[in-house]
Amino acid sequence: MTGPAHIDDLAAEYVLGTLSTEERVAVSARLQRELPLQAAVAYWEKRLAPLDELAPPIVVPIGLKSRIDHKIAAVASGAIAGGSVVTLDVHDLQRRLRHWRTSALAATAIAASLAVILGAREMVRPPLEQNFVAVFQKDDASPSFVMSVDLASRTLSVRRVAADVPSGKTFQLWIASDKLGVGPQSLGLVEDRVTEVKKAISGIDPSIVQNALFGVSLEPAGGSPTGKPTGPVFHAKLIQTSG
């Protein structure tokens, strides 16, 4: 099912917008590397674009532009001002992360660039040996959460980057390690997109935290009713950023 006809169906439906989430994500990932698919998508984008004429212009609410300017300034200056929503190019972030993982400069690069994500406070603090980050992603195309761990102060913070909360649902953070017993243990809810969530991990030995698997799952509002993840889970392990 990878012949030209299939690629064309896929590209046409991708542009038309009728694919499911999973299919869209799969096509987005393939578009990064498959030239025939890129060409087919470009064909349909151009051919169907005249349909945009059928959506009449609608005046944008006043004030939106200044919010955009604010975001751009925040991203450019490397500091996220309080209350602004984090906007990141997820593909770019992914590419850079992959690169950094294999690079000798990994430590400084991630520390410097993730300062944008982690906020000004972390940025101005001198790097410790015990800072880690983890990127949660459901699949190849979408990093959804970025978590940073500071073992010195025993805090971790999770920032929702590209995941949206369906109504009546909440995200829950988990830690799993065979040294912590069977199955994941809850570290609490990740409720807000805008502000950082700080969770104490003081009760857990740093070496366990360092090697644990972390997960974020989608749960009913208020958290998992069973004490274990019940919804789709995003997993991540820690990457050391300094030391």
Partner 1 sequence: MLKLFLSIVRIYFVLTVSVTHSDRHGSGAKFCGDYFVQYATMTTAQDLVRLLQRIALKETAAFSELYEATSAKLYGIVLRILVRRDLADEILQEVYVKIWERAGDFDPSRASPITWMATIARNRALDEARRSKPVSLEDMPAGFDVVSEAPLALEMLTQSEDGQKLFDCLQKLEVEKREVVVQAYLHGLSREALSKRFSRPVPTIKTWLHRSLAQLKDCIGP
Cα–Cα dist 70/64, whole Å? 10
Identify which of residues 40 and 135 has a Cβ nearer to partner 1 in the complex: 40
Identify which of residues 27 and 147 has a Cβ nearer to partner 1 in the complex: 27
Q: Which residue in the set 49, 105, 194, 200 belongs to the binding site for partner 1 (CB under 8 A)?
A: 49
Cα–Cα dist 124/72, whole Å? 21
Segment 71-90, which members bind partner 1 (CB under 8 A)?
Answer: 71-72, 75, 85, 87, 89
Neighbours of 123 (CB within 10 A): 16
Neighbours of 131 (CB within 10 A): 24
Identify which of residues 1 and 182 has a Cβ nearer to partner 1 in the complex: 1
Stretch that binds partner 1, among 64-72, 96-104, 152-160, 198-206 (CB under 8 A): 64-72
Question: Is residue 45 involved in binding partner 1 (CB under 8 A)?
Answer: yes
Question: Is residue 19 involved in binding partner 1 (CB under 8 A)?
Answer: yes
Categorise residue 66: left if φ over 0, alpha if ψ from -120 to 50, beta otherwise.
alpha
Q: Which residue in the set 3, 4, 17, 181 belongs to the binding site for partner 1 (CB under 8 A)?
A: 17
Residues 6+ apart with CB under 8 A from 168: 220, 221
**Sign of the C-alpha dihedral computed for residues 233, 237, 242 and 243 taken in this order:** positive
Please give the residue ranges that form the binding site for partner 1 (CB under 8 A): 8-9, 12-13, 16-21, 24, 42-61, 64-65, 67-69, 71-72, 75, 85, 87, 89, 163-167
